[in-house]
Amino acid sequence: MKKVIYHILVYIHWFFLGSLGLSYLSVLVSPEVCWPLAFFGLAYPVFLAINLVFLFFWAFRRKLLFFSSFIIILAGWNYHQSFFRISFRESTVTQDKTGIKVLSYNVRMFNYYSWEESPQTMEEILRFILSQNAGVLCFQEFYYAGNGDFSRQNITGTLGKDRYVHLAPEGKRSEYLYAGLATFSSLPIVNQASIVLPNTRNICIYTDILWDGDTVRIYNNHLQSINLKKSNRRFIKNFDPLGDDENLEKLKDISFRLKHAFIERAKQARIISEHIRKCPYPVIVCGDFNDIPISYTYFQMKKGLTDAFTGSGEGFGNTYRGNFPSYRIDYILHSKDLQSVRFHRHRVPLSDHYPVSCIIHKADE
């Protein structure tokens, strides 16, 4: 009986070892070519955790299979660093006159449709943002409508005081109704434009700011969402693994939405990455990528850039706080000739995303 159990464990070991390897492969192969790999990437933390269990189990049993677990985990070292960071000491870099604080936040329309129970959520979001005293603010799902608290005068007037503003809508826009991206800067804006992403309402905007005589380009992104319906969210929240055939249909619906989002984000990320590659200035790339660090989207967006989280963040840095499993999907990236310190994920429960911030410095010459 012990021999049978041992052989079963060996088969399970090889299955999850291979699954972890496929999750690594998901960052290299576009979902357009092989979309199932993207699901392996999404399950990366589960596969890594199980392989770590096997690593210690085989070490305890003094089995040679320990080396296969060790090798597959070591092979993904760069991926692990993108997903999790242990901070051993505070950065010794101080914020001097050349440093600028950057904050990126999906504000979920300032809770216009009352997803959060508190009627003061919009005011609390504005107070939080102002308290950060950031030089560059990048917002996704930015919104104003009509008159009163949600009016353009109140929201952009409050956040835009002593700042330059770049607004770009996702869809229709009027004088009294706006939904889209917004970038605010305490430094002068010398140029601004949008990048067209085909067959979608999602957009990317870029804003050139003048920083101590040098031009720096700020990219603000909101990539393809999964677009879960209320019924999908209820199903995830109350998931019953022993449910009936109806559960299977709901799982298929969610899987289809994930597949579509994986493919669309891959296309969008390539377009934006190519635009960044051709940019003649140092860049800061912010936004809600709607994808995790172990994904084709993230690695396309990160090409040639540095992730501020991997330099000075800590823990898992999860930024999504909805019913779907919490992952890090909001980012601040920058050119290698810039430096970032004091990356922080702010655990303020005012949106379905947590804001992220860091301080950007010009690299020492």
- The tens digit of pLDDT for each residue in 206-257 reads 999 999 999 999 999 999 999 877 777 777 777 766 666 677 788 888 899 9
Q: Is residue 85 pLDDT above 50, yes or no? A: yes
pLDDT (tens digit per residue) in 258-311: 999 999 999 999 999 999 999 999 999 999 999 999 999 999 999 999 999 998
pLDDT (tens digit per residue) in 327-355: 999 999 999 999 999 999 999 999 999 99
Q: Is residue 90 pLDDT above 80, yes or no? A: no
Q: Is residue 157 pLDDT above 60, yes or no? A: yes
pLDDT of residue 95: 45
pLDDT-based confidence at 77, cuts 50/70/90? very high
pLDDT of residue 119: 81
Q: Which of 174, 273, 185, 177 is nearest to 223 (CA)?
A: 273
User: In whole angstroms, what is the distance from residue 319 CA to residue 348 CA?
Assistant: 10
User: In whole angstroms, what is the distance from residue 113 CA to residue 106 CA?
Assistant: 15
pLDDT of residue 243: 63
Higher pLDDT: 338 or 4? It is 338
Q: Is residue 97 pLDDT above 60, yes or no? A: no
pLDDT of residue 96: 47
CA distances, 192 to each of 144, 152, 218 (Å): 21, 20, 9
